[in-house]
Amino acid sequence: MQKSKHRHSKVMPMTTTPSGTLLNRELGMLEFNSRVLAQAADPSVPLLERLRFVCIVSSNLDEFFEIRMAGLKEQMRDNPSGLTQDGLSVQQAYQLATQRTQRLVAAQYAMLQDVILPLLEREGVFFHLTGSWNEAQRKWAREFFVRELGPVLTPIALDPAHPFPRVLNKSLNFVVELSGKDAFGREAELAIVQAPRALPRVVQMPEELSGYPYGFVLLSSFMQSFVHELFPAITVDGCYQFRVTRNSDLFVSEDDITDLREALQGELPSRHYGDAVRLEVSAETPPALTRRLLNEIGLGEQDLYRVSGPVNLVRLMPIPDMVDRPALKYPPHVPMAVKAFAGGQPMFDVIRQRDVLLHHPYESFNSVLDLLQLAANDPDVVAIKQTVYRTGNDSAVMDALMTAVRNGKDVTVVVELLARFDEETNINWAERLESAGAHVVYGVVGHKCHAKMLLIVRRESAAPKNRQTRLRRYVHLGTGNYHPRTARLYTDFGLLTANEEVCEDVHHVFQLLTGTAGSIKLHHLWQSPFTMQSNLVENIRAEARNARAGKPARIIAKMNALLEPSVIDELYNASRAGVKIDLIVRGVCALRPGVPGMSENITVRSIVGRFLEHHRVNYFLAGGSELLYLSSADWMDRNLFRRVEVAFPILDKTLKARVIRESLLVHLDDNASAWVMQPDGTYLQQANGDKDRRVSQIELLAMFT
C-alpha cells in the first residue's frame, strides 16, 4: 500500500506510560471528539450537517463527564494514589483531560459562532438574539413568554428560608441578580429559575416578523429579556444561564440484589442528583456569581466551563430537521432492499437454503423486522428467543414479540436492564412484555448481556412429501442493536442463518442466560466472558507463528474501541514477529502504532463520516483460509471479561468476500475521511494529494444504489 500524504489536525500530544506501551483512555476519547468537530469544519460537509456535528460533540461530552470524568473524580476521592491504565496518577489524568476539554469546548463554540452561524445566516437561517430585536419582534417575543413560558416557571429566591436548590443533571437553569425589597421587606439579591424540560429550547419566529425564512429564538433569549415578569416590583440586574453535569453511573450491589429490576428502579432517580462534575455558565456571567455557583454545588475552578453561547448545544440538534433546505443536508438515503428476498420466495425458505448477510444502513433493517413479524404470525413457529439491549421507546421489534405471545408462541426475551441511559426504557419494556405473557429474564448479574441474537424455532416437514416433522432453528446475529432508527445511522452487519451448528451454539448461549448450565464447548461462536479473549489471543499468536516461519501473515480488525492490555501486548508481539496489522478503530485506542521495535507493522485509522461506524470485524489470514468473525464486542476489558458477547463466523465464501470488501478494504483505501493515528496518539487526516479522492462511505452508498 502506498504511503499517503497527511495534513495535521490541531490536537494535543497524548501522554503515555513511562514504558510507552499504552495511551490514556480519556485523552483518546477527547481525540475522537476532535475528529467529530473536524467534520463541522469541513466545507465539503453540508452546512446543516456541520451544525449537527457541533451538537454531537456536546452530546458526547455530556456522557464523557457523566461517566469518565465522574469516574476519575471518584478515584481521586477514594484512591488518590492510584494510577490510570497508562501509568498517570488519577490527578494528572484529570488535569490533562480538563485542559484538553477546555480547548475542545473553546474550539467548538468558536466554530459555531464564527463559522457555522454566519454561514447559516447567508442561507436564511438566523438566530435572533435579544439585542437584535425590533419593536414588532420584541412584542411577539413578550407575548410568547407570557403565554407559553411564564406560567410554568417557578422562581426560587435565595435566602435563609430558600436554600440553593439541588438542580437536576444537565437541566437548564438561570441565576438572576436582583435588587430592591420584596413585599415582606426582605432585600432581594439572588434567585434561581429552573427551566422545565418540557419547555422548548428553540422557538421559530414567524417569517414575516423575522425577515428570514427560518428565524429562531433561544429560550435563554426569552429569559434574559422577560425574566423581570417573574419578579414584579423588583429590579432585575442580570440573568445568566448555567448547567450542572452530574455523575450518572448507577451502582447496584451484586451482593444484595434479590430483584434486579426493583433495585434498579430504586437507583434511577439518583442519576438526576449525583455528585456534580462540571459547571457550565454563559461567558458574561460575573466572576462573583460563578464563584457562588461553584461553592453551592461543590466544585472548583478547574470544573468551570465558560461558553460563548447556549450552555447546551444538544438543544440545537432539531434545527436541521426544522429547516426545509435539502441542499444544506446530506442527500436522502433510502436503504436498499435485501436482494436475497427480492424474488418473493418465503423468507424461511431463503434462509434455509443459504446464509443471508445484511449490511446496514446501506441495506434495509426491515428484513429483520419482516422476519420477526413473520415469525410472530406464522402458525408453524413455536418459540422465539431474543436479546434486547437498546430498542427505543417505540419499537416494532417489541410489538412483534408481544404479537407472538398473543398468537401462542413461547417467547423469551433477555432484557439488559443496565444498558446505560436506556435503563428506564428497558424496565418499561420488561413490564409490558411480562404483562403480555412473555418470559422475561435479565441475564447474569455482573455481566451485561450485549450480544445481539434472535432465535426462531419452527416446526417443519422433515422432508418433501414426508408427513414427519422436525423442529428447525433460524438465527439472526448482529453487530448492532435491534433499533430501527439507529439502524439507519449506524453501520452494522447482520447474519441470517439456519446453519445447524451455529443455531445450536446460539441455543446454548440462551441456555446460559435464562437458566443455569456448566461450560459447554461451542461449535463456532466465541463467547465472552469465556472464550472471546482466548480465541483472539490464539489467532493473533497463530499469525505471529506464521510470520516467524516465513509464511504470509495478516490481521485486519475493525471496532469502536481498543483498550484491553493483554490483546494489545499480543498485537505488539505479532508486529515484532513481522505480522502486518491494520486496525480500524473509530474511537479510543490505547495501542501506540508505528513505534520501532514494538509496533512498526501496525497502523491505526479512524473513519468519521455521515454514518457512525459501528460494526466489529476480526480478520486473520490463517494461512490463506481467511478466518473472519463478526462481533458485538469491542476489544475492551468490559467486553471481553464482564459482558455476555458473541462473535460469529462468516462461513460462506461469497459473503466472506463481501465483508472483507465492504468493511475492511474500502476503509483502508479511504484517502479523504480517514484519520491516521501517530505513535504519540495524535491523528493526521489523510489527504489524497494528486490521487482520486476516495471516501469509503460514499463508495458504499454508490455500491448499494
Q: Which residues are catalytic?
A: 450
What is the per-residue burial (b if ≥16 Cβ within 10 Å, else e) of 239-258?
bbbbbbbbbbebebeeeeee
Nearest CA-CA partner of 32 in 4, 67, 59, 5: 59
Q: Assess contact for 421 and 514: CB atoms under 8 A.
A: no
Residue 519 neighbours by CB under 8 Å, 6+ apart: 530
**3-state class of 17 per DSSP?**
coil
Hunting for cell 466544585 — which residue is that? Answer: 299
Phi, psi of 405, deg, nearest 5: -60, -45
Residue 90 neighbours by CB under 8 Å, 6+ apart: 72, 75, 76, 79, 80, 82, 83, 84
| Orientation angle between helical segments 25-41 and 47-63, nearest 10 degrees | 160
Q: What is the DSSP letter of 602?
A: E
Question: What is the rounded distance in angstroms from the CA atom of residue 106 to the CA atom of residue 101?
Answer: 8
Q: Assess contact for 573 and 601: CB atoms under 8 A.
A: no
Question: What is the rounded distance in angstroms from the CA atom of residue 414 to the CA atom of residue 419?
Answer: 12
Q: Assess contact for 21 and 568: CB atoms under 8 A.
A: yes
Q: Omega into 163 within 30° of 0, i.e. cis?
A: no
Nearest CA-CA partner of 493 in 618, 653, 663, 375: 663
| Angle made by CA atoms 650, 652, 658, in degrees to the nearest 5 | 75
Question: What is the rounded distance in angstroms from the CA atom of residue 158 to the CA atom of residue 175?
Answer: 10
Q: Which triple of cell numbers denotes residue 228?
A: 423581570
Q: Count of alpha carbons within 13 Å of 226, Cβ hemisphere only?
A: 19
Q: Which triple of cell numbers denotes residue 126?
A: 438566523
Q: Assess contact for 575 and 595: CB atoms under 8 A.
A: no
Q: Assess contact for 617 and 597: CB atoms under 8 A.
A: no
For residue 229, the surrounding DSSP H or E stretch is none
Give the other-Cβ count within 10 Å of 227's Cβ.
22
Q: Which triple of cell numbers denotes residue 303?
A: 470544573
Q: What is the DSSP letter of 186?
A: P
Residue 678 neighbours by CB under 8 Å, 6+ apart: 593, 594, 684
**3-state class of 180 per DSSP?**
coil
Question: What is the rounded distance in angstroms from the CA atom of residue 279 to the CA atom of residue 60?
Answer: 16
Q: Assess contact for 678 and 589: CB atoms under 8 A.
A: no
Q: Please, which residues bridge with residue 628 across strands?
A: 619
Q: Assess contact for 241 and 220: CB atoms under 8 A.
A: yes
Hunting for cell 505471529 — which residue is that? Answer: 544
Nearest CA-CA partner of 64 in 314, 267, 270: 314
Cα dihedral value 545, 548, 553, 556, nearest 10: 70
Residue 171, CA distances (Å) to 198, 241, 272 in order: 11, 10, 9
Q: Which triple of cell numbers denotes residue 365?
A: 433493517
First-residue to last-residue Cα distance in the chain: 28
Give the other-Cβ count within 10 Å of 135's Cβ.
7
What is the per-residue burial (b if ≥16 Cβ within 10 Å, else e) of 498-520?
bbeebbbbbbbbbebbbeeeeee
